[in-house]
């Protein structure tokens, strides 16, 4: 099936047409928008470098032929290949900040954004001096933290070199080279002996069942950013076992585990995780203090291996 938009003239025509097709083709919206209207507006306006909140009157502007064919190509890829809009545009928004993205990084969407905006209140005793964004992808979490805590030094760490290239572009984009650094490594491996006041992580945590059922849009994201073993906890087990060695005395660890919250609770019933609440939606983010990480480190080390069933 090909996408023909040749009779469409205005921005409004294109947005309306896209909404109809997005519905009829049953696209999935989970990468920055949650409905066809916002998705269509984001794609059409973004592709033409127009602001998302452009005045209504401009929607009736006619497009040039070249603009129409550019849009036609993007709409075709969104509908037929199910490519998320963020990859089509090469950009995404997180905490009201613009980030470069490509298919080597997850499209930013973590509910941790809300915690950053609240400056992690009431969980931090004082502004953190050193922050680690573990499993950083595009760098969105760490860079947004750098804005909220202008005195902090921030380390962005990931195992993927191509992801770190994107994170570095974002450090430059936000002119944060003086205090935001990227480090390559498997979890804490690239950070021997380093400690932080705040470690934030949105690691891969999707369990095998959820991964198998994910809509096609997610297949464009790196599998290593999503899937993580049978119960989704392959990385979380190691992260918990190592966290105490990388937190200062009064430090805090915040980790997103999404639907794998149930697996975390079942695996460590002895641990009193604080499950954070969100006003804007989202779930499955826990907080542990450095003291808790130390107290349970032996247990976390004991349970490093997935149970074989």
Ligand X SMILES: C[S@@+](CC[C@H](N)C(=O)[O-])C[C@H]1O[C@@H](n2cnc3c(N)ncnc32)[C@H](O)[C@@H]1O
**Which range binds ligand X by CB under 6 A, 45-53, 137-145, 175-183, 264-272?**
137-145
Q: CA angle 109-257-199, nearest 5°?
A: 80
Is 235 a binding residue for ligand X by CB under 6 A? The answer is yes
Q: How far is the CB of 107 from ligand X (least distance, A)?
A: 7
25-33, 54-62, 133-141, 259-267 -> range binding ligand X (CB under 6 A) = 133-141
Each residue 183-212 as x (binds ligand X by CB under 6 A) or -, in order, gives ---xx--------------xxx--------
* Site for ligand X contains 136 (CB under 6 A): yes
Q: Which residues pair with 99 in a beta bridge?
A: 92
In the complex, what is the shortest distance from the CB of residue 15 to ligand X, in angstroms, rounded to a whole number?
A: 27
At closest approach, how far in Å is the CB of 134 from ligand X? Answer: 7
Q: Is the peptide bond preceding residue 122 cis, with omega within 30 degrees of 0?
A: yes
Q: Does 242 bind ligand X (CB under 6 A)?
A: no
Position 42 contacts ligand X (CB under 6 A): no
Using CB under 6 A, count the residues that bind ligand X. Answer: 22
> Is 158 one of the binding residues for ligand X (CB under 6 A)?
yes
Q: Is 182 in the site for ligand X (CB under 6 A)?
A: no
Give whichever of 108 and 128 is closer to ligand X, judged by the CB atom: 108
Count other Cβ atoms within 10 Å, centred on residue 220.
Answer: 17
Residue 32 interacting with ligand X (CB under 6 A): no
160 binds ligand X (CB under 6 A): yes
How far apart CA 129 and CA 247 sit, in angstroms, is 12
Near ligand X by CB under 6 A: residue from 40, 79, 115, 225: 225
Q: List CB contacts of 162: < 8 A, sequence separation 6 or more.
A: 104
Report the alpha-carbon distance of residue 262 to residue 292 in Å, rounded.
Answer: 19
Smallest separation, CB 38 to ligand X (Å)? 19
Length of the chain: 309
Nearer to ligand X, 93 or 248 (CB): 93
**Least distance from C-beta 285 to ligand X, angstroms?**
11
Shortest distance (Å) from residue 296 CB to ligand X: 21
Query: Which two three-digit tokens encode residue 251?
Result: 């430090």
Residues 6+ apart with CB under 8 A from 164: 136, 156, 158, 182, 184
Stretch that binds ligand X, among 153-161, 170-178, 240-248, 280-288 (CB under 6 A): 153-161
CA distances from 296 to 116, 118, 243, 273, 290 (A): 26, 28, 10, 11, 10
Q: Decide: is 247 part of the binding site for ligand X (CB under 6 A).
A: no
Q: Which residue is nearest to ligand X (CB)?
A: 137
Contact region with ligand X (CB under 6 A), list: 138-146, 260-268, 277-285, 297-305: 138-146
| Positions in the binding site for ligand X (CB under 6 A) | 105-106, 108, 110, 135-138, 140-141, 158-160, 163, 186-187, 202-204, 224-225, 235
């Amino acid at each position: 099936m090909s996408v023909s938009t040749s009779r469409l003239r205005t921005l409004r025509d294109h947005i309306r047409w896209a909404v109809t097709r997005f519905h009829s083709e049953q696209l999935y919206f989970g990468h920055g928008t949650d409905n066809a209207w916002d998705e269509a507006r984001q794609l059409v306006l973004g592709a033409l470098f127009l602001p998302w909140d452009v005045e209504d009157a401009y929607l009736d502007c006619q497009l040039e032929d070249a603009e129409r064919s550019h849009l036609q190509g993007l709409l075709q890829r969104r509908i037929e290949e199910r490519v998320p809009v963020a990859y089509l545009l090469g950009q995404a928004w997180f905490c009201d900040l613009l980030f470069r993205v490509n298919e080597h990084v997850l499209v930013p969407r973590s509910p941790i954004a809300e915690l950053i905006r609240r400056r992690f209140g009431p969980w931090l005793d004082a502004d953190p001096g050193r922050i680690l964004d573990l499993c950083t992808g595009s760098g969105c979490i760490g860079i947004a933290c750098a804005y909220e805590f202008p005195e902090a030094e921030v380390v962005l760490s990931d195992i993927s070199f191509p992801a770190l290239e994107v994170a570095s572009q974002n450090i430059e984009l936000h002119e944060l080279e003086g205090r935001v650094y990227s480090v390559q490594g498997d979890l804490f491996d690239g950070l021997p002996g380093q400690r932080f006041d705040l470690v934030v992580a949105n690691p891969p945590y999707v369990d095998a069942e959820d991964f198998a059922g994910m809509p096609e849009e997610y297949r464009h994201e790196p599998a290593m950013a999503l899937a993580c073993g049978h119960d989704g906890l392959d990385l979380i087990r190691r992260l918990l076992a190592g966290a105490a060695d990388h937190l200062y005395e009064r430090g805090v660890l915040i980790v997103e585990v999404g639907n794998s919250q149930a697996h975390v609770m079942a695996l460590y019933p002895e641990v009193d995780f604080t499950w954070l609440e969100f006003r804007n939606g989202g779930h499955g983010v826990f907080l542990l203090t450095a003291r808790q990480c130390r107290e349970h480190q032996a247990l976390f080390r004991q349970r490093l291996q997935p149970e074989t069933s």
